[in-house]
Chain A
Amino acid sequence: MEVLKIATAGSVDDGKSTLIGRLLYDTKSLTDDKLEAIERNSKKKGYDYLDFSLATDGLVAEREQGITIDVAHIYFSTKKKSYIIADTPGHVEYTRNMVTGASQAQASIILIDARKGVIEQTYRHFFINNLLRVKHVIVAVNKMDLVNYDQQVFEDIKADFEKLNSQSSYEEQEVTFIPISALKGDNVAQKTDAMSWYTGDSVLDFLETLKPEQEELTAARFPVQTVVRPKKDEFHDYRGYAGKIYGNSLKVGDAITVLPSLTSSKIKSIEFFDEQYDEAVAGSSVTITLENDINVTRGDILVKSDEVPHSAKTLTASVCWMDGKALVPGAKYEIQHNTNRVLAKIDSIENVISTDYSGEDASATQLTLNEIGKVNFKLSKNLFYDNYADNKAGGSFILIDTQSNTTAGVGFIG
Chain B
Amino acid sequence: MSKILKTNALESEAIYIFREVVAQFENPVLLFSGGKDSITLVRLAQKAFYPGKIPFPLLHVDTGHNFPETIEFRDKLVEELGLNLIVRHVQDAIDEGKVTEETGKYSSRNMLQTTTLLDAIEEFKFDACIGGARRDEEKARAKERIFSVRDDFGQWDEKNQRPELFDLLNGKIEIGQNVRVFPISNWTELDVWSYIEQEQIEIPSIYFSHKRKTFVRDGLIWSASKYVYREENEEVLERIVRFRTVGDMTCTAAVESEADTIARIVSEIKTSTISERGARIDDKRSEAAMEKRKQQGYF
Q: Name A residues whose Cβ lies closer than 8 Å to a Cβ of B.
A: 1-3, 31-34, 37, 56-61, 69-75, 77, 82, 84, 96-97, 99-100, 103-104, 212, 225-226, 228-232, 235, 238, 240, 242-244, 249, 251, 270-281, 283-287, 298, 322, 334, 336, 338-339, 392-393, 396-398, 400, 405-407, 410
Contacts and interface: CB of A to CB of B under 8 A. Distances in A.
Most buried by B among A99, A275, A284, A334: A284
Interface in B1-39: 2-13, 15-16, 19-20, 22-23
A111 to B, nearest CB: 20
Most buried by B among A2, A225, A238, A274: A225
Contact of B5 (A58, A240, A280, A338): A280
A59 B139 CA distance: 7
Given A73-B142, A226-B19, A226-B23, 15 more contacts: A59-B140, A75-B186, A82-B191, A97-B163, A100-B164, A230-B52, A231-B52, A232-B52, A244-B167, A274-B50, A276-B3, A277-B5, A278-B2, A400-B170, A405-B174
A272 B166 contact: no
B170 A336 contact: yes
A212 B46 CA distance: 27
Main SS of chain A's interface residues?
A: mixed
Contacts of B53: 230-231
A44 B185 CA distance: 32
Nearest to A243: B19
B143 interface: yes
Interface of B: 2-13, 15-16, 19-20, 22-23, 46-53, 135-136, 139-140, 142-143, 158-159, 161-168, 170, 172-174, 185-186, 188, 190-191, 194, 272-275, 278, 287-288, 291
A75 B136 contact: yes
B49 A3 contact: no
Contact of A228 (B52, B143, B170, B185): B52
A240 to B, nearest CB: 8
B142 A226 contact: no
Contacts of A334: 172
Nearest to B23: A226
B158 A59 contact: yes
Nearest to A322: B163
A400 B165 CA distance: 12
Contacts of B48: 242, 285
A32 B219 CA distance: 13
23 contacts: A32-B274, A34-B275, A59-B139, A73-B185, A75-B136, A75-B186, A104-B165, A225-B19, A228-B49, A230-B52, A242-B48, A244-B16, A249-B4, A272-B47, A274-B50, A276-B3, A279-B4, A283-B7, A285-B7, A397-B168, A400-B170, A405-B170, A406-B170
Most buried by B among A58, A72, A397: A58
- The list of the 4 closest CB pairs from A to B, nearest first, reads A278-B2, A285-B15, A405-B172, A230-B52
B4 to A, nearest CB: 5
B287 A37 contact: yes
B47 A273 contact: yes
Contact of A279 (B3, B158, B186): B3
A279 B4 CA distance: 5
A412 B194 CA distance: 37
A200 B51 CA distance: 51
A287 B273 CA distance: 40
Nearest to A32: B273
B170 to A, nearest CB: 5
A283 B143 contact: no
B168 A235 contact: no
Contacts of A286: 5
A230 B170 contact: no
Nearest to B46: A273
Contacts of B162: 406-407
Contacts of B158: 59, 70
Contacts of B288: 60
A271 B3 CA distance: 11
A178 B155 CA distance: 43
Given A82-B191, A84-B186, A398 B9 contact: no
B2 A279 contact: yes
Contact of A72 (B15, B49, B143, B275): B143
A73 B13 CA distance: 16
Given A61-B159, A393-B166, A284 B275 contact: no
Contacts of A407: 162-165, 168, 170
Contact of A287 (B3, B50, B136, B163): B50
